[in-house]
A and B are shown apart, each in its own frame.
Chain A
Amino acid sequence: MSMQSLYLLVPLAPLFGAIAAGLFGKWLGRTWSHRITIAMVAVSFGASVAIFNDVLAGNTFNGPVYTWLTSGDTSFQVGFLIDKLTATMMLVVTSVSLMVHIYTIGYMEEDAGYQRFFSYISLFTFSMLMLVMANNFMQLFFGWEAVGLVSYLLIGFWYTRPTAIYANLKAFLVNRVGDFGFLLGIGLVLMVFGTLDYAAVFANASAHVDDIAPIPGMTVSLMTAICILLFIGAMGKSAQFPLHVWLPESMEGPTPISALIHAATMVTAGIFMVARMSPLYELSDTALSFVMIIGAITALFMGFLGIIQNDIKRVIAYSTLSQLGYMTVALGASAYSVAIFHLMTHAFFKALLFLAAGSVIMAMHHDQDIRNMGGLKKYMPITWITSLIGSLALIGTPFFSGFYSKDSIIEAVALSNLPGSGFAYFAVVAGVFVTAFYSFRMYFLVFHGKERFGHAHHKAHDGDHEDEEVSADHHHGLAPGQKPHETPWVVTLPLVLLAIPSVLIGYIAIEPMLYGGYFGDAIFISEHHPVMHELHEEFHGAAAMALHSLTTLPLWLAIAGVASAAFFYLKRPDIPAAIQKRFQFIYVLLDNKYYFDRFNDWFFAGGARGASSFLWRNGDVKLIDGLIVNGSAKMIGMLSGVVRHLQSGYIYHYAFSMIIGVFVLLSVRNWFE
């Protein structure tokens, strides 16, 4: 098979699976639906591996598949760009997707929408692959919005739940705010470069470095404008402050998609995009600074929120936000390869953590409140061990995958000298403590300590929405006397398979990926940003890096985080409660997530509704229709009411007016002469 047809096979196989399960799911039945979709994703994964090997051998590809549209002199094409950046993303996407597909057999076993779910996750895989394989901005935007659509469908998968359909609408609209900027950025690219083809744009980018953006009334550098507009799109998709608000609520969707979409792949699309656009971002220090500061805010402040969450999935969701912030900071520091590296390690350990959380949720009969858990390690050993591995990777334990990527980010920020790098350094270092604290708070509360389950009391969780109602399958919990059980092999197998790269991939990949020129031409770094170069000089092998970390601040911060979590939640659970009372205002601030949701609901949602009602009533109904349209109809009616009196029917009235008329006309004539 030629490489080109292999490229096509990668996205089309899952698309075929999605169509089969979606349109013919009823006819195929459950078993065949998951067999077909899983087989198709496996094919896609296999092809990705083959392509990866081919790319490692030095073969890249950039070419069109078909012409989508022509307009004026511009031709818009659908096409693929296969280089190491793409190949890496393809591997991450297809492998995590395959794990999630298998896991779903167990997780969604009792759900009526089984085939629909498989169809959606296969459709997602197709969309995400189209996004990462694109060789032009138009197709990038297609994939970008298509993954958003599937995310919308999957968050609202349980469409009878008010919280789910609130969350999915919110997710879609917040993402659309980001896409608003993204599309304008694409518009500027097309206007300036006359093409949307990556290669052509990147090749000419440096020629426009001193241009002023063609925005009337503003003098801003063209590259800064393009990069910031594109990044606004990334802020939506990758949930960066202040467009992060949709991600925690996306947890309303089934857990497998939280792992696949809202942790491992889709939310990293923004990170991938900025790395792909490195030839543009490198030309604007302002944009890089902006990226770094936004990322730093997200990394630190979203981490804080993870500390007070009690819903197991929401803790991980805030952790994801914070980790996406880390990746963004790395982008801002021109350490694109480090960002992609962290994206990859994070994809594995975060998918692992989410799937493990799903396993816990199954064992707990869909109770997600960590206050009701405790001591689970005895009952579910595989889930326990894999969760521990995931948590250790997340907090950056030496030799684990997360250590290599996160430590590299911290080092890179330390070396950056862009405005804002000082704050960013503080944020990512402080974030290490926060990460360790909330991760192990959750870990201890779930797997260690006293067994607190068996009191299936139905309290509304978090109280996020006033309209929340507890639906039948949402908060079961274990009844008194019931014990949790380890989940079936289709659930635990993906955990084990994901645990392996969560431990190893960092150690294996750091040297070739960051310092071996792995990405080659796929990532461009200007000589004004020598961060990677300096990092390389400090690097003396993966083992040395891990050993060296014993003397550095981040490791001790992480240890301190774990230790304080152990102390607070295993030894002295009364202390957190006391702190919470003592510092009530901070707790309230965090519990309300800095009041972002309130503000958005009041200002944007309420404001739009208010403006809509006002404009409709006063503009359309009163002014145009009332005054002008119906008003002129009334006016004609009134006028004719008056004029009607002239038509009296009496001949002497007519004769009289005729005489007056003749008299007036004659006088006028005489007067003019």
Chain B
Amino acid sequence: MIFGFPIISVAIWLPIIFGVLVLSTGDDKNAQMARILALVGSVLGFLVTIPLYTGFVADTSEMQFVEMHDWISRFSIHYHLGVDGISVLFILLTAFFTPLVVLAGWQVIEKRVAQYMGAFLIMSGIMIGVFAALDAVLFYVFWEAMLIPMFLIIGIWGGQNRVYAAVKFFLYTLLGSLLMLVALIYLYNVSGGSFSILDFHQVAIPMEAQILIFIAFFFAFAVKVPMFPVHTWLPDAHVEAPTGGSVVLAAIMLKVGAYGFLRFSMPIVPDASHYLSGVMIALSLIAVVYIGLVALMQSDMKKLVAYSSISHMGFVTLGFFIFNAYGMEGALLQMISHGFVSGALFLCIGVLYDRMHSRKIADYGGVANTMPVFAAFFMLFAMANSGLPGTSGFVGEFMVILGAVKANFWYAFAAATTLIFGAAYTLWMYKRVIFGAVANPHVAELTDLNMREKLIFAILAITVLGMGLYPLPFSEIMHVSVNDLLVHVARSKLPL
């Protein structure tokens, strides 16, 4: 709190209230009002999160801006919010993307505008809630609530096969979360009747139970990340989702799963985390190598970027489970960078889709001739996706590979293949879409970016380059929290 001002609550509820307001503008007669209201709400929503960064005290791993109120006292459930160096950046990332998504859908979404914009605002608030919740039940409520707007966004504004994709998305993630609920209730009992996540961190748990809890959390979080082999919902969801949906899905929602590993699995069951780290590393490396290869032959641009996302998230889980500072900080930086880069790439594909109504690589060719400005932005984001130094995509990959060498040279060897595969699938797609002679009359008629699109891409380009050239502001804020987490995870929690 700053001067008694519940800043996290405002960050959560302001977009939700604006979302409800936007919804109340009703049908498409008032579409323009809905858009403006949504933009105002989302920009305000971002502005209110800035004090979280500027007022953040970086030399402690204690929770900051804490809010604590009774909610259901019968079960000692609290409305308990707070941030540390691990979660604070994701709150900013979430709020940062909402205005961009609103802008991206400004002209493209013509039907049910208010509902579309409202869903994104509400979802933004809920996702901030997930990152800020310190009470397990509150977390669980946000966690499950997050599914609903995304389910609607895919199911209503999606492509042809949207119902299959929406249901697959919903069931996949719901099944995972149910096991987590069981684990949370068990923890409530062993912690002597507390739902505070911070209490869970302290309670001693026998090994067998730790392993079961780890597995329960694993299903909830691994599906969201998504890790191999529970990743197959993601390509379908991305392909069918509207551009804004894909952006939020890739930029924010995938991070929630990885965040869960840091906030729940590792500190609550450290012994099981160490015990099963071999499996986690193996799955991460499969994601990097196998998914990197699978991405190569995709004929649908969105599917390709979706597979690329899975491969990049493999770096995140790899970084976590090698248990060293390079790896973990690299993984967190990779999460943030992947938010920017994959979000930007989905926006790029969206720009093409809005004009050509096709995501097939084969329908394009020679776009640089008609859309040179777009081609330049796309080049930057493609290079960032290939991990080029100077862009944000490099920082995390570099750090995780350095950390992996420290853990085991061969982990790094497998992970570093992304230098080749990542460049291959990204730049081969870029070549087929952007370079070459004008492939067909549709490409010849393309118009370059308008001011609104240029604005969106310029913001993202500055961010991607800024983070690549000067990542220190991103890393120093998480430093102490990561170090303390590593110390905490190194201590056994088995009962004496």
Contacts and interface: CB of A to CB of B under 8 A. Distances in A.
A149 B436 contact: no
B478 to A, nearest CB: 10
A160 B437 contact: yes
B417 interface: yes
B399 A71 contact: yes
A179 interface: yes
A165 B290 CA distance: 27
State the majority secondary structure of interface residues on A: helix
Interface in B435-452: 435-437
A165 B429 CA distance: 12
Interface in B217-231: 229
Contacts of A190: 402, 405-406
Q: Which of B389, B404, B408 has the largest count of A CB atoms less than 10 A from its CB?
A: B389
Interface string B301-325: 0000000000000000000000011
Nearest to A608: B296
Contacts of A624: 229, 232
A169 B470 CA distance: 28
State the majority secondary structure of interface residues on B: helix
A217 B475 CA distance: 34
B416 A149 contact: no
B296 A612 contact: yes
A220 to B, nearest CB: 11
7 contacts: A71-B479, A149-B388, A160-B369, A160-B437, A165-B436, A608-B293, A608-B296
A146 interface: yes
Interface stretch (A27-35, A283-291, A615-623, A639-647): A615-623
Contacts of A191: 402, 405-406
Given A153-B379, A629-B232, 14 more contacts: A68-B469, A68-B470, A70-B472, A70-B479, A71-B399, A72-B326, A160-B366, A169-B428, A173-B420, A184-B409, A184-B416, A188-B405, A615-B293, A620-B232
B234 to A, nearest CB: 11
A160 B375 CA distance: 13
Nearest to B376: A22
A488 interface: no
B409 A216 contact: yes
A650 interface: no
B404 A156 contact: no
The 9 A-B pairs with the shortest beta carbon distances in the complex, nearest first, are A187-B405, A72-B325, A612-B297, A142-B389, A612-B296, A165-B435, A215-B409, A159-B435, A616-B294
Contacts of B293: 608, 611-612, 615
Q: Which of A69, A70, A162, A613 has the largest count of B CB atoms less than 10 A from its CB?
A: A69
B419 A68 contact: no
Nearest to A143: B389
B390 interface: yes
B383 interface: yes
Interface in B408-425: 408-410, 412-413, 416-417, 419-421, 423-424
Contacts of B390: 142, 145-146
A128 B294 CA distance: 35
A144 B10 CA distance: 46
B431 interface: yes
Contacts of A615: 290, 293-294
Contact of B419 (A152, A153, A183): A183
Contact of B401 (A73, A144, A187, A215): A187
B330 interface: yes
Interface in B140-181: 168, 172
A153 B368 CA distance: 13
B67 interface: no
Contact of B431 (A165, A187, A609): A165
B33 to A, nearest CB: 36
Contacts of B59: none
A176 B292 CA distance: 15
Given A68-B470, A149-B383, A187-B412, A176 B296 contact: no
B476 interface: yes
Interface string A586-613: 0000000000000000000000110111
B419 A159 contact: no
Interface string A458-496: 000000000000000000000000000000000000000
A378 B490 CA distance: 80
